[in-house]
């Protein structure tokens, strides 16, 4: 038979699966939907914050460079159109400019041929052609105008006594010399430390940092500059060189990095913020770790709850099941505790009630069977009634003594047949033919004994002969008639009419007499009290019939005083005998 729904599956397992499935679905939703979204938000947020930090340092550097450019342009504004003239106010101005700021180490103005017009740092120690060949000089002249050239970090060695690590700023300026316009270069050396201070203080996470590099990828400032120069560390600038502004990622020593790149316009330097993904995402990782741990704990607790709940819910059912198995095995004395869920309690109560009814019915059946057997025994006993037997045998002897052998033989034969049918090899059910044979034999014996005291007539519907009936139900009625006839007839012959008929459903035995009848007040008691004088009595027959066929069947007594009595036995046709 095809299983429908959950039929056939263990309730315990169904509860477990249902519980775990719903918890699993929830956890799956959290892990697959919620966690990635929140992780993504955390990552974006972390990168945004890192970006802000980098932009702040860029802004600081921008401001600083703007400031320096202002000083450079202001210094250039101080220069006279002809620096070869003896006036030196502009030189004082340059000195003042240099003194006004700690980060400006020297300001110098060079002519077109590399000759020094003035320097705040003193005399030149290299020949003019070396100045002319310097990169800063060439670039400044090349970028004519207000655009300033920013050099890479280097040790300034142009002037006597000065050995400082600087970044040089240079711009070209037009001046007049001997009536000719020429192009000179204003050089301003800024302490390298002033630039590195902008980036050195920036930390992006525990390991992250900011560095500067020029357009060609040469490092300007880097927290590990010396290590890189010594070959003890490296900074892969390829990814950062590929763009002027943007965000990109690379990998270093197995750690993924995010590079935030922007450019300082005035210097064309790239500012690169390096942040390590594992540090940026520390919060995200912590979140994922916490969610994972919480999810695992939730899963374990769900498993525990599912197990315990399934156990707790199904325990009373399993108890119920085990008790039912005991009942199935035949122990009807089982009692189930009526407790637990309402439904279980209800089932337990109903089951206990059912068991009690079964026990009562079984007791009743046992009792009925015992009563039946008792009645049958009684009926049999009646057949072996000593008085009847004694009297019959006595009659046989008397006949024999009188030479009436044939009558004696007839009586002996009738007695033998009477007892044979009474016993019927232990069968409870016999044919109507046999039952009537039994009655005939009885009547033969009694007729020979009581001669004219009574007469009888037997009328049988042929259709009834082969019907089956519980045995020894007609003879007691006939015996009852005969006994009353002998006791109360007062010399008159009693006529007994015995009729057997059938209806579509029933088999009817009618025993009528024309005797004195029965008092009306005694009628109700006839089927309820045993009549000791009259053998097993009408009660015995009536109860046996009802025990066998049910309460709808049995004896019906109709009697009119001084007119007669009719007793009808009604039993069902086609009755299947129970083994």
Q: Select from 9, 181, 311, 341 the one that contacts other proteins (CB under 8 A).
A: 311
Q: If binding is defined by CB under 8 A, does position 433 make contact with other proteins?
A: no
**CB 84, min distance to other proteins, A:** 30
State yes or no: residue 165 binds other proteins (CB under 8 A). yes
User: What is the chain's Cα-based Rg?
Assistant: 66
* Binder among 2, 163, 519, 578 for other proteins (CB under 8 A): 163
Tokens of 435: 């039952």
Our finding on whether 29 is near other proteins (CB under 8 A) is: no
Query: Measuring CA to CA, how many Å separate 273 from each of 107, 153, 193, 195?
Result: 32, 20, 19, 15
Contacting other proteins (CB under 8 A), which of 229, 326, 457, 533? Answer: 229
Q: Which of 296, 332, 361, 409 binds other proteins (CB under 8 A)?
A: 296
Q: Which is nearer to other proteins, 214 or 250 (CB)?
A: 214
The helix or strand, by DSSP H or E, that contains position 155, with its residue range, turns out to be strand 154-156
- The b/e string for 83-94 (b: 16+ C-beta within 10 A; e otherwise) is beeeeeebbebb
191: closest CA among 126, 106, 119?
106
Q: Single out the residue of 28, 301, 365, 552 in contact with other proteins (rule: CB under 8 A).
A: 301
Strand partners, 543: none
Nearest CA to 208 out of 269, 281, 287 is that of 281
Q: What is the DSSP string of 44-104?
A: HHHHHHHHHHHHHHHHHHHHHHHHHHHHHHHHHHHS-S-TTSS--HHHHHHHHHHHT-SSE
Contacts of 441 (CB under 8 A, 6+ apart): 414, 415, 417, 418, 421
Which range, of 162-170, 382-390, 459-467, 483-491, touches other proteins by CB under 8 A?
Answer: 162-170
18 binds other proteins (CB under 8 A): no
Member of 60, 153, 380, 424 binding other proteins (CB under 8 A): 153
Terminal C-alpha separation, the chain = 34
Among 26, 32, 242, 297, binds other proteins (CB under 8 A): 297
- Residues forming beta bridges with residue 149, ordered by sequence position: 170
Q: Report phi then psi at 183, rounded to 5.
A: -110, 120
Region near other proteins per CB under 8 A, out of 102-110, 217-225, 357-365, 373-381:
217-225
Binds other proteins by CB under 8 A, chosen from 41, 77, 245, 293: 293
Closest CB 137 distance from other proteins, rounded Å? 15
Nearest to other proteins of 229, 249 (CB atom): 229
What residues does 274 pair with on adjacent strands?
209, 259
Where does this chain touch other proteins (CB under 8 A) — which range of 26-34, 66-74, 157-165, 370-378? 157-165
Q: Which stretch binds other proteins (CB under 8 A): 293-301, 317-325, 441-449, 568-576?
A: 293-301
Q: Which of 303, 374, 444, 486 binds other proteins (CB under 8 A)?
A: 303
The residue among 300 and 360 lying less far from other proteins, judged by its C-beta, is 300
Residue 125: CB minimum distance to other proteins, A: 8
Q: Which is nearer to other proteins, 296 or 409 (CB)?
A: 296
Minimal distance, residue 166 CB to other proteins, in Å: 10
- Give the separation between CA 555 and CA 541, rounded to whole angstroms: 8
User: Residue holding tokens 């999810």?
Assistant: 295
CA-nearest of 418, 54, 45, 497 to 259 is 54
Contact between residue 177 and residue 110 where contact means Cβ atoms under 8 Å apart: no
Q: Tell me whether residue 154 or residue 345 sits nearer to other proteins (CB atom).
A: 154
For other proteins, which stretch binds (CB under 8 A), given 35-43, 229-237, 341-349, 492-500?
A: 229-237
Strands 104-110 and 180-191: antiparallel
Q: Which of 475, 446, 440 is nearest to 458 (CA)?
A: 440
Is 11 near other proteins (CB under 8 A)?
Answer: no
- By CB under 8 A, tell whether 231 contacts other proteins: yes
Nearer to other proteins, 132 or 154 (CB): 154
3-state secondary structure of 426: helix
194 lies in the site for other proteins, by CB under 8 A: no
Nearer to other proteins, 165 or 324 (CB): 165
Which token pair is 306? 């599912």
**Distance of alpha carbon 249 from alpha carbon 21, whole angstroms:** 40
Choosing from 7, 145, 180, 232, the residue that interacts with other proteins (CB under 8 A) is 232
Stretch that binds other proteins, among 28-36, 148-156, 339-347, 437-445 (CB under 8 A): 148-156
Q: Which is nearer to other proteins, 16 or 65 (CB)?
A: 16
Residue 310 or 445 with smaller CB distance to other proteins = 310
Assess 254 for contact with other proteins (CB under 8 A): no
Binding residues with other proteins: total (CB under 8 A): 35
Can you tell me the distance from the alpha carbon of 454 to that of 496, in angstroms, rounded to the nearest whole number? Answer: 7
Write the secondary structure of 464-503 as one string of H (helix), E (strand) and C (coil).
HCCCEEECCCHHHHHHHHHHHHHHHCCCCCEEEEEEEEEC
Segment contacting other proteins by CB under 8 A, of 59-67, 92-100, 303-311, 434-442: 303-311
Residue 163: helix, strand or coil by DSSP? coil
SS3 165: strand
Residues contributing to the site for other proteins (CB under 8 A): 152-157, 163-165, 193, 219, 224-227, 229-232, 289-290, 292-294, 296-297, 300-301, 303-305, 307-308, 310-311
């Amino acid at each position: 038979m095809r299983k429908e729904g959950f039929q056939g599956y263990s309730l315990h397992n169904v509860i477990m699966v249902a519980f775990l499935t719903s918890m699993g679905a929830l956890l799956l939703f959290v892990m697959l939907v919620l966690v990635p979204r929140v992780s993504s938000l955390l990552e974006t947020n972390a990168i945004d914050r890192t970006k802000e930090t980098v932009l702040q340092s860029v802004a600081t550097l921008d401001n600083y460079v703007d400031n320096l450019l202002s000083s450079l342009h202001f210094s250039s504004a101080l220069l006279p159109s002809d620096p070869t003239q003896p006036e030196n106010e502009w030189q004082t101005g340059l000195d003042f400019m240099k003194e006004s700021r700690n980060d400006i180490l020297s300001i110098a103005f060079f002519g077109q041929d590399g000759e020094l017009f003035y320097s705040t740092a003193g005399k030149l120690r290299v020949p003019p052609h070396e100045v002319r060949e310097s990169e800063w000089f060439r670039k400044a002249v090349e970028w004519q105008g207000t655009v300033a050239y920013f050099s890479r970090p280097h040790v300034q060695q142009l002037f006597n006594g000065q050995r400082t690590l600087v970044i040089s700023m240079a711009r070209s300026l037009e001046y007049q010399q001997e009536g000719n316009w020429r192009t000179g270069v204003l050089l301003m050396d800024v302490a390298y430390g002033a630039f590195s201070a902008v980036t050195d203080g920036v930390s992006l996470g525990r390991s992250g940092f900011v560095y500067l590099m020029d357009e060609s990828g040469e490092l300007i400032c880097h927290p590990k500059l010396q290590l890189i120069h010594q070959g003890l560390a490296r900074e892969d600038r390829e990814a950062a060189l590929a763009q002027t502004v943007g965000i990109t990622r690379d990998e270093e020593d197995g750690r993924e990095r995010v590079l935030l790149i922007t450019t300082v316009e005035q210097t064309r330097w790239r500012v690169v913020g390096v942040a390590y993904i594992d540090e940026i995402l520390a919060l995200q990782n912590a979140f994922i770790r916490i969610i994972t741990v919480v999810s695992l704990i939730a899963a374990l607790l769900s498993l525990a709850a599912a197990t315990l709940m399934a156990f707790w819910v199904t325990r009373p059912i399993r108890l119920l099941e085990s008790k039912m198995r005991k009942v199935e095995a035949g122990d009807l004395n089982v009692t189930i505790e009526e407790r637990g869920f309402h439904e279980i309690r209800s089932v337990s109560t109903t089951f206990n009630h059912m068991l009690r009814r079964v026990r009562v019915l079984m007791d009743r059946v046992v009792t009925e069977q015992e009563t039946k057997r008792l009645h049958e025994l009684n009926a049999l006993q009646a057949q072996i009634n000593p008085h009847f037997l004694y009297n019959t045998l006595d009659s046989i002897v008397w006949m024999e003594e009188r030479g009436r052998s044939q009558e004696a033989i007839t009586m002996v034969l009738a007695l033998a047949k009477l007892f044979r049918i009474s016993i019927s090899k232990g069968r409870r059910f016999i044919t109507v033919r046999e039952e009537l044979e039994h009655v005939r034999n009885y009547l033969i014996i009694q007729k020979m004994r009581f001669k004219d005291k009574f007469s009888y007539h037997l009328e049988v519907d042929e259709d009834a002969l082969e019907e089956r009936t519980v045995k020894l139900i007609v003879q007691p009625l006939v015996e009852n008639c005969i006994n009353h006839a002998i006791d109360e007839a007062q010399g008159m012959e009693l006529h007994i009419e015995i009729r057997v008929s059938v209806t579509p459903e029933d088999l009817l035995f009618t025993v009528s007499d024309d005797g004195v009848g029965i008092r009306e007040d005694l009628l109700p008691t006839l089927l309820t009290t045993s009549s000791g004088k009259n053998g097993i009595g009408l009660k015995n027959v009536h109860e046996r019939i009802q025990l066998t066929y049910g309460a709808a069947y049995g004896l019906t007594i109709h009697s009119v005083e001084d007119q007669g009595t009719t007793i009808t036995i009604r039993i069902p046709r086609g009755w299947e005998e129970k083994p």
